[in-house]
Amino acid sequence: MKTFVLKTGQWLPKYIIHCFLLTVLIIFLQIPVTANPACHQHNGDTIVINKAQTSKKYKIKIFPSATGEVMFFTASGEAGKVYQLYLFDLDGKLVKQTQIRNKETTLLTNFLKGTYTFEVFSDDEKIENGTVEVR
C-alpha cells in the first residue's frame, strides 16, 4: 500500500483559487439578466428607452451604461454633421440638452425617476424621437 502525503504548500494555493473562483461565480449568477438591451437594472432602478421614430439615414444610439448611472448618446452618419439631443419631462420642460459631432459619444447624467421624451435633430431635421423611463 502506497502512502501519499500532500504538503501544505501544494494544495493551499489551489484551494484558495478554487474558493475565490467559486465565490465570483456565485456572485455573478446573482446579477439580474435582461433580454432587452435597452433596459438595465441598478440598485432597483430601471432605465427603459423606446424609440418612436428611427432614422435609416443616421445611426443614433441612446443607451444606459453598465452601471445604470449614466446614459450614452452617440451618432454617426455623414461626415461633418452635428446632432442635438433634447430631453424633456412630461410637462414639456427642457431637462437636458447636448450636442455632438458625427461619430462622437457623450454622457447624460443625474436622472431623477420619471418619464422623459427625447428628440434628436440634425440641421433642423428631426431624425429620432422616443421616451426614456427611469423607474
pLDDT at 18 (0 to 100):
54
Euclidean distance between CA atoms 105 and 93, whole angstroms: 24
Per-position DSSP letters for 45-57, written without gaps between them: EEEEEEEEE--SS
- pLDDT, tens digit (0-9, with 9 covering 90-100), for 80-130: 999 999 999 999 999 999 999 999 999 998 888 899 999 999 999 999 999
Say if pTM beats, i.e. exceeds, 0.75: no
First-to-last C-alpha distance (Å) of the chain: 67
Whose cell is 454617426? That residue is 76
Query: Does the pLDDT at position 35 exceed 80?
Result: no
CATH for 39-134 is: 2.60.40.3080
Q: Where are the domains of the chain?
A: 39-134
**All 3 cell numbers of residue 117?**
421624451
Query: Does the pLDDT at position 75 exceed 60?
Result: yes
